[in-house]
């Protein structure tokens, strides 16, 4: 055993000495001396091996197994380090390639968006929603904008309106009822569009209540035409924005900043919204077939902003910071939504569209179209051009002249309690607030107060019943009809009765 340990000592010293020499001479031919030492290893073994004995040879074999394992482990560790380095290097190369691909895709997206806008403009022109005698100054292209401008379309609007006097005088002796009759006659006599007077009253009362008017119903009943006709009547064409099924967020509606071109890819919606800031009349932006995509996704920011009490808070962020040469109305990268803008949304109720959520209905006023208007003999009527401030003044006067009566408020409160008890649904503070604006305006437009309550109840409350299991609530619905007859009279609340009958029939 002593002979073996003496061999082991000399062997270990010699091996590690040679390994140290090898590492020391890394940049000298590393293998020049090592082969000559193989004979020395063998000589040491010959000198001591005769005296190994059994245990000496056992530890000899064990030592070489462990030694080979050590060398193999070191080699494997070096292999892992090299592989990790290669992967890291390849990853960095992949990132560079990915950046190049992203830049290429951004450029292709930019060009595709331009083509899409051209196609949409052709579609809108084909529908006859743009004047045929050339574009207006505010509808001009980005001509006049610097080539490095971040917002060329918006700057073209600045250039078109620079120095123009946009003041509009108030019209004398104009009431909301006269305004409704004039618009109805204008649509019929000039455009061949026939609407019921109740529909027009609901429209103008809805404008007093919300910035979002939803026109829904079956196709071909004049929904888009109503928004188009109102723009013509007020002297400034409505902007028609076709909604695409792929819209999922606000960038589809407003546009986005392109890091590749260093420009903001402005949408037609953004340009129309920006233009409103220069005007004093009521401007209409129509989202055509707005429920082809989920409204609460792409229009969510506007739904939230319009709930704010202070109009000064109606701002949207377009870009983190401003730069010299940015559009005039853009402050610190933010755009203020003007009060004289009105959003229309047309919606077809079929299998190709999304259901409009309660969140949207609660914040909007919806008008339902179920048939085409019948022709009538209309008095010729010219457009009525008036400032939005005058229209707002008419609504304010209506609040003073036709406040909601206490008796109707009490009856509506009793109806609220009945619906809560039978259907577990409540009107909510938002609906009660909308009543305070809608009813006075509806009465000022020539309608009856009770019909205004009928409209609000049907469109704000009964619409929610569509989500209930009507098959198990038919008795309760019959009780609701009886309650309406008892509270308001059998010949009133016809919209609500018709809606309830349709619910029962279709379920």
Q: Are 149 and 155 in contact (CB under 8 A)?
A: yes
Query: Of residues 499 and 64, which shows the higher confidence score?
Result: 499
Residues 351 and 424 in one domain: no
Specify the range with the lowest mean pLDDT, choosing from 196-200, 318-322, 361-365, 395-399: 318-322
172/48 Cα distance (integer angstroms): 126
268 pLDDT more than 60: yes
Least confident of 3-7, 128-132, 296-300: 128-132
Q: Per-residue confidence at 406, pLDDT binned at 50, 70, 90?
A: very high
Residue 141 confidence (pLDDT): 43
Query: Is 327 a residue whose pLDDT tops 90?
Result: yes
pLDDT of residue 428: 77
Report pLDDT digits (tens) over 186-238: 999 999 999 999 999 999 999 999 999 999 987 777 788 999 999 999 999 99
349 part of a folded domain: yes
Mean pLDDT of 440-451: 96
| 324 shares its domain with 176 | yes
Q: Measuring CA to CA, how many Å separate 209 from each of 27, 203, 227, 410, 456?
A: 86, 10, 17, 21, 11
pLDDT above 50 for 369: yes
In a domain, 90, yes or no: no
Distance CA 1, CA 306 (A): 95
As a whole number of angstroms, the distance between CA 226 and CA 235 comes to 14
Q: Is residue 391 part of a domain?
A: no
**pLDDT category of residue 314 using cuts at 50, 70 and 90:** very high
Please state, in angstroms and rounded to a whole number, the distance separating the CA atoms of residues 275 and 157: 7
Please report the pLDDT score of residue 431 as a whole number.
Answer: 87
pLDDT at res. 138:
40
Banded pLDDT at 131 (limits 50, 70, 90)? very low
Nearest of 423, 432, 409, 490 to residue 463 by alpha carbon: 423
DSSP 380-394: --------HHHHHHH
Region 240-261: what's the mean pLDDT? Answer: 89
Kindly state the percentage of the chain with pLDDT values over 70.
Answer: 84
Considering the domain architecture, whether residues 208 and 344 belong to the same structural domain is answered as: yes
Q: What is the largest CA-CA distance in the chain?
A: 131
Look at residues 229, 240, 338 and name the one whose alpha carbon lies nearest to residue 282. Answer: 338
Do 422 and 335 lie in one domain? The reply is no
- Domain with residue 185: its CATH number is 3.40.50.300
pLDDT confidence band for 126 (50 / 70 / 90): very low
Does residue 220 sit in the same domain as residue 292?
Answer: yes
pLDDT in tens, 281-292: 999 999 999 999
62 assigned to some structural domain:
no
Whether 259 and 348 share a structural domain? yes
Average pLDDT over residues 143-165: 84
Q: What is the pLDDT of residue 10?
A: 82
pLDDT at 269 over 50: yes
Lowest mean pLDDT among 37-51, 148-162, 189-203, 302-316: 37-51
d(CA 129, CA 3): 107
pLDDT of residue 455: 95
Within 10 A of 364 (CB to CB), how many other CB atoms are there?
24
Phi, psi of 257 (to 5 degrees): -85, 125
Judge whether residue 503 has pLDDT over 70. yes
Report the pLDDT value the prediction gives residue 243, as an integer from 0 to 100: 92
Please state at what angle helix 474-488 crosses helix 494-505, rounded to 10 degrees.
170
Identify the pLDDT of residue 6: 78
Q: What is the mean pLDDT of residues 415-434?
A: 87
More confident call, 312 vs 60 = 312
pLDDT at 135 over 90: no
For residue 289, being part of any structural domain is answered with yes
Domain stops at, among 316, 348, 369: 369
pLDDT of residue 468: 82
Q: Encode pLDDT of 352-365 as tens digits.
A: 788 888 889 999 99
- Whether residues 166 and 299 share a domain: the answer is yes
Report the pLDDT value the prediction gives residue 495, as an integer from 0 to 100: 93
The residue that leads in pLDDT, 122 or 59, is 59
| Confidence check: pLDDT of 118 > 70 | no
Q: What integer pLDDT is reported at residue 145 of this predicted model?
A: 64
Range of the domain at 322: 127-369
411 and 336 both lie in a single domain: no
- Identify the H or E element spanning 439: helix 428-444
Q: Per-residue pLDDT for 147 more than 60? A: yes
356 and 424 share one domain: no
Domain boundary among 369, 392, 420: 369
Q: What is the pLDDT at residue 89? A: 67
pLDDT tens track for 72-101: 888 888 888 888 777 766 665 566 676 677
What is the domain count for the chain? 2
pLDDT of residue 140: 39
Nearest Cα residue to 206 out of 435, 401, 386: 435
Which residues fall within 8 angstroms of residue 258, CB to CB, at 6 or more apart? 106, 109, 110, 264, 265
Average pLDDT, the chain: 84
More confident residue, 179 or 25: 179
On whether both 424 and 500 belong to a single domain, the answer is yes
Q: Are residues 432 and 354 in the same domain?
A: no
319 falls within a domain: yes
Spatial separation of the C-alpha atoms in residues 268 and 214, rounded to whole Å: 20
Residue 36 located in a structural domain: no
**What is d(CA 169, CA 56) in angstroms, rounded to the nearest whole number?**
116
pLDDT tens, residue by residue, 4-48: 777 777 877 887 787 777 766 664 555 555 555 666 767 777 777
Check if the beta carbon of residue 343 is closer than 8 Å to that of residue 213. Answer: yes
Q: Are residues 438 and 318 located together in one domain of the fold?
A: no
Residue 78 lies in a domain: no
Q: State the pLDDT at residue 134.
A: 37
């Amino acid at each position: 055993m002593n002979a073996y340990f003496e061999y082991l000592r000399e062997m270990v010293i010699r091996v590690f000495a040679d390994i140290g020499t090898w590492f020391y001479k890394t940049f000298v031919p590393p293998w020049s001396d090592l082969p000559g030492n193989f004979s020395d290893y063998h000589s040491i073994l010959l000198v001591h091996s005769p005296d190994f004995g059994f245990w000496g040879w056992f530890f000899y074999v064990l030592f070489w197994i462990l030694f080979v394992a050590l060398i193999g482990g070191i080699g494997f560790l070096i292999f892992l380090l090299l592989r990790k380095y290669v992967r890291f290097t390849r990853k960095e190369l992949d990132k560079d390639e990915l950046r190049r691909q992203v830049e290429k895709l951004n450029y292709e997206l930019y060009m595709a968006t331009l083509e899409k806008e051209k196609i949409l403009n052709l579609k809108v022109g084909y529908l006859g929603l743009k004047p045929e005698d050339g574009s207006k100054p505010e509808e001009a292209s980005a001509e006049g904008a610097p080539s490095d401008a971040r917002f060329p379309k918006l700057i073209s609007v600045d250039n078109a309106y620079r120095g123009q006097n946009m003041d509009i005088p108030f019209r004398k002796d104009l009431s909301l009822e006269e305004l409704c009759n004039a618009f109805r006659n204008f649509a019929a006599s000039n455009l061949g569009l026939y609407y019921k007077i109740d529909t027009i009253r609901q429209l103008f009362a809805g404008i007093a209540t919300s910035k979002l008017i939803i026109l829904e119903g079956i196709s071909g009943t004049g929904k888009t035409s109503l928004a188009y006709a109102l723009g013509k009547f007020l002297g400034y064409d409505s902007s028609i924005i076709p909604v695409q099924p792929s819209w999922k967020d606000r960038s589809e509606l407003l546009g986005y900043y392109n890091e590749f071109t260093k420009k903001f890819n402005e949408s037609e919606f953004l340009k129309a919204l920006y233009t409103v800031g220069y005007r004093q009349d009521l401007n209409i932006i129509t989202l055509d077939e707005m429920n082809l995509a989920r409204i609460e996704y792409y229009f969510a920011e506007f739904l939230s902003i319009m709930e704010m009490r202070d109009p000064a808070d109606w701002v949207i962020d377009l870009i983190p910071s401003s730069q010299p040469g940015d559009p005039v109305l853009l402050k610190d990268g933010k755009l203020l939504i003007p009060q004289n803008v009105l959003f229309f949304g047309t919606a077809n109720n079929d299998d190709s569209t999304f259901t409009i959520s309660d969140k949207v209905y609660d914040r909007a006023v919806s008008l339902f179209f179920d048939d085409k208007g019948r022709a009538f003999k209309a008095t010729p009527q010219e457009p009525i051009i008036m400032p939005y401030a005058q229209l707002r003044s008419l609504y304010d006067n209506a609040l003073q002249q036709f406040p909601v009566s206490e008796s109707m408020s009490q009856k509506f409160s009793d109806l609220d309690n009945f619906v809560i008890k039978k259907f577990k649904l409540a009107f909510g503070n938002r609906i009660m607030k909308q009543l305070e604006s809608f009813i006075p305006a509806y009465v000022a437009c020539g309608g009856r107060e009770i019909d205004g309550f009928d409209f609000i109840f049907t469109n704000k409350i009964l619409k929610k019943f569509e989500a209930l299991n009507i098959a198990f609530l038919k008795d309760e619905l019959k009780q609701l009809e009886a309650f309406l007859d008892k509270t308001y009279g059998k010949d009133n609340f016809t919209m609500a009765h018709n809606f309830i009958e349709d619910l029962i029939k279709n379920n």
